[in-house]
Amino acid sequence: MGLSEDPKLKPLLLGLFLSMYLVTLLGNLLIILAVTSDSHLHTPMYFFLCSLSLADVGFTSTTVPKMLVDILTHSTAISFAGCLIQMSLFLLFACMDDLLLTVMAYDRFVAICHPLHYQVIMNPRRCGFLVSLSFVASLLDALLHSLVVLQITCFKNLEISNFFCDPSQLLSLSCFATFSSDIVKYLAGIIYGFLPMSGILFSYYKIVSSILRVPSPGGRYKAFSTCGSHLTVVCLFYGTGIGVYLSSAFSDSVGESALASLVYTVVTPMLNPFIYSLRNRDMKKSMQRVLNKLVSFQCLSYALGLGGKSSNTMH
């Protein structure tokens, strides 16, 4: 159904969401470039951050480009196959975000509570295993939802009260085996919602307990600042996610549900790079170096282009 049927609002929505999408891509790609190009950032924490940025790019790319096309073409129709693909990719990257935030909480727990064994516990092999495990678990969740949605036999001329193929709404549209769709909802909520949140809360309980035992205030501040960015992103991710759930559960308004989903799927991935860059000195310096290199390369290319044109003119 999209966000609005008012033709006067469509140019504003197009410009707003296009700019937000470009900012999201630029911010997350800068983090990826900064981590991969700076040898000082080749640590488990930044490896997980780079993986999170990749997941954020995929997460926002599953919904925003289709929404922009819908605004340009004045059509919000989508095929069954296209809807199924969008839902599967949405679940894949959303679960990746969820599980990677849990892995990052575990990484901070080991770094602060077991600093002497950090290099042994968080070795490159284990880091790769944790990211691979997050991807496989997310893929299984997407496949499970797809198998249930494939059982829908009357999926024609139906309206989805959102700007993308919301998995919860697709499961509720099932005309067959509603009991199995309810099982999928509760099972996915426990495995990909309750368990990761419990792991994050337990990790930060241990982290706070360990920080409070540090004698000096400067040491406590330094220890907590290492996980401040991650804690902010966790609060933003789960806060908006819970807001989407509550709005869909207690409100029948199409606009409120779509607005809550918009915050969760567009605003949160856009803010993550700002949170990590503004609250992390090493990341800020590395991103500045990447931007300076890009600007220098652009200026050099422009100068060489002008030099080539002038020589051709003289010839």
Angle value at C-alpha 69, between 33 and 251, nearest 5 degrees: 95
For the residues 270-278, what does the mean pLDDT come to? Answer: 81
Query: Strands, E, within 42-169: which ranges?
Result: none
pLDDT tens digit sequence for 93-110: 999 999 999 999 999 999
pLDDT at residue 140 in the model: 92
- Residue 287: pLDDT over 80: no
Domain ranges of the chain: 10-281
| Paired tokens of 240 | 């908006």
Provide the pLDDT for residue 219.
Answer: 66
C-alpha neighbours within 13 Å on the C-beta side of residue 184: 23
Checking if the pLDDT of 6 tops 80, the result is: no
Residues 245, 261: Cα–Cα separation, whole Å: 9
Asked whether residue 311 carries a pLDDT value surpassing 90, the answer given is no
Percent with pLDDT over 90 in the chain: 29
Distance of CA 303 to CAs 300, 307, 312, 313, 314, Å?
Answer: 5, 6, 14, 15, 17
Residue 168 has pLDDT above 70, yes or no: yes
Q: List, for residues 44-88, the tens digit of each pLDDT value.
A: 989 999 999 999 999 999 999 999 998 888 888 888 888 889 999
Phi first, then psi: give them for residue 42, nearest 5 degrees. -85, 65
Q: Where is mean pLDDT largest: 110-114, 144-148, 215-219?
A: 110-114
Own/partner pairs for 289-295, CB < 8 Å, 24+ apart? 289/34, 289/37, 289/38, 290/30, 290/33, 290/34, 290/37, 291/30
Task: Evaluate if residue 253 carries a pLDDT over 70.
Answer: no
How far apart are alpha carbons 77 and 171 in whole angstroms? 19
| pLDDT(228) > 80 | no
Between CA 284 and CA 28 the distance in angstroms is: 13
User: How many CA atoms, within 13 angstroms, populate the side-chain half-sphere of residue 82?
Assistant: 7
Task: Give 259's Cβ-side CA count (13 Å radius).
Answer: 8
| Domain covering 10-281: architecture | Up-down Bundle (1.20)
